[in-house]
Amino acid sequence: MYYDLVVIGGGPAGLAAAEEAKKNGAGSVLIIERNEELGGILNQCIHSGFGIHVFGEQLTGPEYAKRFIDRLSGTGIEVKTDTMVIGISPDKTVTAVNSAEGYLEIKAGAIILAMGCRERTRSSIAIPGERPSGIFTAGTAQKYINVEGYMVGKRVLILGSGDIGLIMARRLTLEGAKVLGVVEIMPYSNGLKRNIAQCLEDYGIPLYLSHTVTDIKGENGRLSRVTVSKVNGFEPIPGTEIEFEADTLLLSVGLVPENELSRSAGIEIDSRTNGATVNEEMMTSVPGIFACGNVLHVHDLVDFVTEEAQKAGKAAAEYLRENKDGVSGETIEIRNGANVGYTVPQKIDTGKIGKFAEVFFRVRSVLNNAEISVKAGEEILFSKKREQMLPAEMEKLIIPKKVLDAANGRTITVSAEEAEK
């Protein structure tokens, strides 16, 4: 079996990448999705708040997905659902399995990785205490409630104030549960401000900042009590314990890009993002293999996933057409400087960009009245002011090409610092 382009994952990233590749002339295109339907995580994100940038309106997750799924018809893009990719080799052979066709070996001219991410679990953050039932990751609980129609509990505590935790606090409240609080180890929330307002404040749900779970107790096999303590940094402070009689604990403690397949293809992984290292076209270290969406770095807004995926799709079509991975200008490496956790892309080929290059990054702490600067060595090439920057919000920096030309092949660093008072 041969396809010019194989897209792995049929979430918003895979859908937009496939469409854009086809539009730009890619021949045969196949999307492989392990679930029974396309749409990815959007199928369980039933709240509204998607699409404000791409469509100029607030859609629910399923509505956003539908727009892209509907656009596939008539394009000739093929889809295999219920099919799980189990390996990718560096020569771009994709192996997959499904119950109808069994074991499949598919040669691809180019591959786009769009596998999304998975949730961190209790074991990845080492919560002490007993191991009763009633402890779920927030996304799993979301799927039980929104897709399968099972309620997860009556008295619920949520650990982690990222958007998924906040959205689930409201959802559980609407379905009749008592949400006792959202507990966050950091001194600030990791979710969007509007979700604090519309998911917690609207329903009077308390947010415990600088607190974490320090003990878990069960009764007859089900969770019965959760102890929460104030922290100093990450250290619990004795004597500050609060006891909650809860039958359910949701963990919303982070997402990790799903990159086992990428590793098997020998793709270089950036330890800061846990995703592939890419250039301005979202091409990984293996020529002809591209990555986009949550598998590349964790996004909070689907609109940015779509835009990134379109870049990857267009570049894959170009790669297939020109069959070259040739560098056309100078390759400039981007490093993260002060207060910046990572950048995507990590490399830019100055010959491949138009007037601007887009760089996404996250800051490590809350910064007010800040300045973003792009430096080569000590030389400041470019700077930009921001009123406030939050770790919860991905930042987009548009760097003019002439700035990159001025770097003259040198490595550049992106940093963010508060202006001196």
Ligand X SMILES: Cc1cc2nc3c(=O)[nH]c(=O)nc-3n(C[C@H](O)[C@H](O)[C@H](O)COP(=O)(O)OP(=O)(O)OC[C@H]3O[C@@H](n4cnc5c(N)ncnc54)[C@H](O)[C@@H]3O)c2cc1C
Which positions touch ligand X (CB under 6 A)? 8-14, 32-35, 40-42, 45, 49-50, 84-85, 114-116, 139, 142, 163-164, 167, 258, 261, 293-295, 299-303, 305
| Smallest distance, ligand X to C-beta of residue 300, A | 6
Q: Is residue 62 close enough to count as binding another protein by CB under 8 A?
A: yes
- The closest alpha carbon to 332, from 262, 402, 268, belongs to 402
End-to-end Cα, the chain, rounded Å: 63
Residue 98 makes contact with another protein by CB under 8 A = no
60's contact among ligand X, another protein, none, with CB below 5 to 8 A by partner kind, is another protein
Q: Rounded to an integer, what distance in angstroms lies between the CA atom of residue 346 and that of residue 365?
A: 21
Binds 12, which of ligand X, another protein, none (CB < 5 to 8 A, cut-off by type)? ligand X
Q: In the complex with another protein, which residue's Cβ is closer, 57 or 243?
A: 57
For residue 312, report the phi and psi dihedrals to the nearest 5 degrees: -65, -40
Q: State how far the alpha carbon of 222 is from the alpha carbons of 245, 313, 321, in Å.
A: 12, 47, 58
Q: Which CB atom, from 42 or from 127, has the smaller least distance to another protein? A: 42
Which among ligand X, another protein, none contacts residue 222 (Cβ within 5 to 8 A by kind)?
A: none
**CB-side exposure of 190: number of CA atoms within 13 Å?**
22
For 127, residues 6+ apart whose C-beta sits below 8 A from its C-beta are 159, 213, 216, 251
What does the per-residue mask of binding to another protein show for 181-220, with x meaning CB under 8 A? -----------xxx-xxx--xx------------------
Say which residues have a Cβ less than 8 Å from residue 221's Cβ, sequence separation at least 6.
Answer: 132, 133
Residue 46 contact among another protein, ligand X, none, beta carbon within 5 to 8 Å by kind: another protein
Among 128, 147, 321, 379, binds another protein (CB under 8 A): 147
**What residues numbered 266-325 form the site for another protein, per CB under 8 A?**
300-301
Among 28, 60, 140, 331, binds another protein (CB under 8 A): 60
- What is the pairing mode between strands 222-232 and 211-219? antiparallel
**CA 118 → CA 36, 57, 290, 317, distances in Å?**
18, 28, 19, 28
Nearest residue to 414 via CA among 368, 367, 382, 366: 382
Count, residues near another protein per rule CB under 8 A: 32
Q: What gap in Å lies between CA 245 and CA 223, rounded to an integer?
A: 9
Cα–Cα distance, 175 to 60 (Å, whole number): 18
- Shortest CB 294 distance to ligand X, Å: 4
Residues 370-399 that bind another protein (CB under 8 A): 393
Residue 391: C-alpha distances to residues 135, 161, 192, 251, 295 (Å): 26, 12, 10, 19, 19
Asked if 52 interacts with another protein (CB under 8 A), we say yes
Q: At what angle do helices 61-72 and 302-322 cross, to 10 degrees?
A: 20
Q: Which is nearer to ligand X, 145 or 397 (CB)?
A: 145
Is the four-CA dihedral 258, 264, 269, 272 of positive or negative sign?
positive
> Amino acid identity of 308?
E
Closest approach, Cβ 60 to ligand X, in A, equals 9
Residue 16 CB, nearest distance to another protein (Å)? Answer: 18
Shortest gap between Cβ of 106 and ligand X (angstroms)? 12
Choose between 167 and 390: whose C-beta lies nearer to ligand X: 167
Alpha-carbon span 366 to 146, nearest angstrom: 33
If you compute the radius of gyration of the chain from its CA atoms, what whole number of angstroms results? 22
**Binding of residue 243 to another protein (CB under 8 A):** no
What SS3 state is found at 38? coil
The contact mask relative to another protein for 63-82 (x = CB under 8 A, - = no) is x-xx----------------
- Find the binding residues for another protein in span 322-351 (CB under 8 A): none
Q: How far is the CB of 252 from ligand X (least distance, A)?
A: 8
Residue whose structure tokens are 């002490």 = 128
**Binding-site partner at residue 94 among ligand X, another protein, none, CB < 5 to 8 Å by type:** none
- What count of other Cβ atoms lies within 10 Å of the Cβ of residue 200? 24
Which listed range, 60-68, 90-98, 232-240, 367-375, lies at the site for another protein (CB under 8 A)?
Answer: 60-68
Which residue's CB is nearer to ligand X, number 14 or number 345?
Answer: 14
Binding site for another protein (CB under 8 A): 36-37, 46-49, 52, 58, 60-63, 65-66, 145-149, 174-175, 192-194, 196-198, 201-202, 300-301, 393
